[in-house]
Amino acid sequence: MTMTSVHSKDKASAGSDGLRARRNVGILAHIDAGKTTVTERILKVTGRIHRVGEVHDGAATMDYLEAERERGITITAAAVNVNWNGHTITIIDTPGHVDFTAEVERSMRVLDGAVCVFDASEGVEPQSETVWRQAARYGVPRLCFINKMDKAGANFFEALTSIREKLGACAIPVQLPIGREGEFRGIVDLVHMKAHVYKSLEERIEIPIPEEMKAEVRAARTDMLESIAERDESLLELYLEGKELPHGELIRVLRQSVIAQEVHPVLVGSALRDKGIQRLLDAVVAFLPSPMDIATVPGTNEDGEAVEHPATPEAPLAALAFKTIHDRTGDLTFLRLYSGVLRRGDSVWNPRLRQKERVGRMMIMKANDREPVEEARAGEIVAVLGLKSSTTGDTLCTKEHVVVLESMDFPDPVISVAIEPKNRGDRDKLGEALGALGREDPSFRHGTDAETKDTVIAGMGELHLEVIVNRLRSDFKIDVDVGAPRVAYRQTLRGPCDVEGRHVKQSGGRGQFGVVRIRFSRSDESAFVDSIYGGAIPREYIPAVAKSLTAQYQKGGTERFPFVGVCAELYDGKAHSVDSSEMAFQEAARLAFENAIKTAGTTLLEPVMKIVVRTPSVQLGDVIGSINARRAMVENVVELEGGVSEIHGRVPLAEMFQYATTLRSMTTGRGNYTMELDGYARVPEELAQEVRREARERREKK
C-alpha cells in the first residue's frame, strides 16, 4: 500500500486547525464499479495530475504495479493526498477483488471515512457487501456514490433500493441524476436546490431544475429533510412548524449523523464522463470526519490497563504500523499517527517487542512516487525506512508513555499450491523472497511441508497466488514451477496384534541384547503404556523403547506416511546384565513395530476438515450438491437472517483445493467457507491405492 501525509512545510497542518482541515478517506467498491477511475478524476480536478490515466488502458496513476496494469484491476491499496477548498484529503484507492480483501482490511483500520462506489446498473454487488461490513466493523463513516449513470441499464432508484435492502443502510439521497444512460447529463443538488449540467470535468453550468423533475425533486427533498430533522430536536421543531431549516444547521446535523454512522448520504455521477467529482469532494469535506472528530485514542499499557491519548499533535506519540512493503532500499513501513509528532531520526518504542526502533527516512507517496519529509503529525499517514523488526499491527510510541493500539485481524488463507525454483541454486533466494512477501501481506503464508518437503504458499484465492508467483518472477527474478500441494496423509494399523522385537548380536567384545514384547492396538491418540512388572526390562531402558516407537511413527514405515492412533503396550521383554543398552532396546522396538506392520497391515488415513459454508439461500441446493460431490458429509443446515444459509459438515481436505473459486462462481461471489482440522478418516481403498502409487513414483524420482 503506498500512502501519504501532509508536507512538513504545510503550516496549516500544525495543531487543531490542521487536523480539522484533514480527511483520510478510502474509496471502496466491488471490482469494476469504478473506484480507480473516481480517484483519477479526483487527482485531475484537484490539480494533482494533468493527464488522466485510464484503467482500461493500463495507465491509471494509482494502479502502478505491473500486474495491476496488465489486468486492469487494483491489487494493492494506493494513496495520494490532494487539496480541495483549503482541506488536505488523503485518498486511498483500495482493491475490489475478494482475493485482496486484506488490503481493504488494513486500510479500514486507519481510515477516518470512506466513499463506497456502486455501479448504477448493478447496485450492491458481492464485494460491496464485504467492504461495507468491513467498514462497519471498524466504525468508518461512509458516503455512497452511485457511479456509471451513463451506462446502459443504469437506474439510480434501483441502485438506491439495493443499498437500503441488501446493506440495511439508512441511505439518504442528497442528489438526483438528470437523465440516465446515454441521456445522463447532470445533477440536482437537493441540499442547495440547484441543478447543474456538465460540459467537462472542470466545467459545469447551473440551470433551472428541469420542469419534468420538479415533483420528483420536491418529494426527494422532503424525504431528506425529514430524515435529517428527526435527528435533532431543534430542527424537528422547525420542520413540524413548517419553517425553513437553516442551511448551516442542516449541514451540521447531517454531518453529525454521518459521523455517528446513522445515515449515509447518496451522491451520483459518472467518473468516466467527468460528471459529479467536484460535488463528491464537497461532500467528503462537508460530511466525513477529520482526525479531530476522534476525541481520544484508546489503547492499553503494557499491563493491559486501559489508557487514552488526546488525538492531537501535542499528546504523546501513538502510531500504528499497518503495512510493510519490500523495497530495494529496505522495507518501507507505513504508519498512521493517531497522536503526537514523529520526526526523522526519532527513537520510538515497540511495546510488543519491548525494544527501540529508529526512524530513518520519512516520506509521502503518490502511488509509487516519493517525496522526503522531516516530520509527520497526528492524523497523518507516512512511510518510513529504518524499522528493523516492527510489523503490521505493531504500535510505536514513547517508552515514557506506552500505549498499545488495537491491531488488525486478517482472514486465513483458503487455497495453497506447491512451488519449486527451476534453478536449484535459487532455493535460498526463494526463501528470502517469500519472507519479504510474507512481511508485506499478512494474508499470504508460506512454509515447508515437513513430510513432503514441498515449499507451499497459501493465500486468499487463485488470483492472489498467481500475483505472488508473478512477483517472484518479475520482482525477485526467480523462475518457479507451480504445482498442487500434496495432502499430508497418515496411516494406522489395521487391527490389534501382539509382536516381539528381538535385537541380539554377538560379534566379539561387548554384544547387543534387547527383547521387547508389545501389544499394538488402535486408539484415538497415539499412546505408550508401560506394563512391565518384576523387572523383565530394567527401568532405565523403557524410555528408549518409547522414544524409538515415536520415531518410527514419524518415519512412516516403507510408505513414508506417518502413523497416528497407535497404542503400544510394552508388557514383557528380556535384558542382559552386560550386553543390554538403550541402543539395543531402541533397535528392538523398531523391529517390533516392523513386525506389527507386517502382522496387522495398515490403513491409509486422510485429514478431514470441519467445514462451514455460507451461501445465499437461493443457491443452497447447488452448494450442497457441490460439496457432496467432494465426498462431504453434511450434518446440518442453519437458516440465517438476510436470506443466507449456513451448511455444517465434514469433508476430506484432498477434495477442497480450488473450492473457493468454485464456490464464488456458483454464488456470484457471495459465498464463503471456513475449515479446521477435525481428525483423520480412512481413505476409500481405490483412492488409497492411487495415493500409494503416486507416493512410490515420487520416491523413485528422488
Which tens digit of pLDDT belongs to each residue from 143-170?
Answer: 999 999 999 889 999 999 999 998 999 9
Supply the pLDDT for residue 163: 95
Matching residue, cell 412548524: 241
Q: Which of 438, 405, 425 is nearest to 478 (CA)?
A: 425
Supply the pLDDT for residue 333: 86
State the pTM of this model. Answer: 0.66
Q: Which of 597, 657, 662, 600 is nearest to 626 (CA)?
A: 662
Supply the pLDDT for residue 466: 85
Q: Are 457 and 444 in contact (CB under 8 A)?
A: yes
Residue 397: is it exposed, middle or buried by C-beta count within 10 angstroms (0-12/13-18/19+)?
buried
In the chain, which stretches have pLDDT less than 70? 1-17, 49-79, 95-101, 126, 201-202, 328, 365-369, 411-415, 450-452, 461, 484-486, 507-509, 641, 676-677, 698-699, 701-702
Q: Are 353 and 344 in contact (CB under 8 A)?
A: no
Q: Are 115 and 237 in contact (CB under 8 A)?
A: no
pLDDT in tens, 645-675: 989 999 998 888 778 888 988 998 888 787 7
Supply the pLDDT for residue 397: 94
Q: Are 205 and 278 in contact (CB under 8 A)?
A: no
Give just the sign of the alpha carbon dihedral 574, 580, 585, 588: negative
Q: Hey, what's the cell of 112?
A: 477516518
Cα 73 from Cα 463, distance rounded (Å): 11
Query: Mutual orientation of helices 233-240 and 247-259 as an angle, nearest 10°?
Result: 130
Q: Hey, what's the cell of 322?
A: 499497518
Q: Which of 393, 259, 286, 419 is nearest to 334 (CA)?
A: 393
Supply the pLDDT for residue 570: 96
Cα 407 to Cα 127, 320, 591: the distances in Å are: 23, 8, 53
Q: What angle do CA 109, 114, 118 make, to 5 degrees?
A: 125
Q: What angle do CA 120, 130, 639 make, to 5 degrees?
A: 105
Supply the pLDDT for residue 60: 43
Using DSSP's 3-state secondary structure scheme, residue 390 falls into: coil
Matching residue, cell 463513516: 141
Q: Dihedral angle at the C-alpha atoms of 115, 119, 670, 460, nearest 10 degrees?
A: -60
Cα 315 to Cα 24, 273, 376, 626: the distances in Å are: 20, 45, 13, 56
User: What percent of the chain clears pLDDT 70, i.e. is strictly above it?
Assistant: 87
Cα 513 from Cα 193, distance rounded (Å): 100
Supply the pLDDT for residue 14: 43
Cα 289 from Cα 261, distance rounded (Å): 11
Supply the pLDDT for residue 143: 96
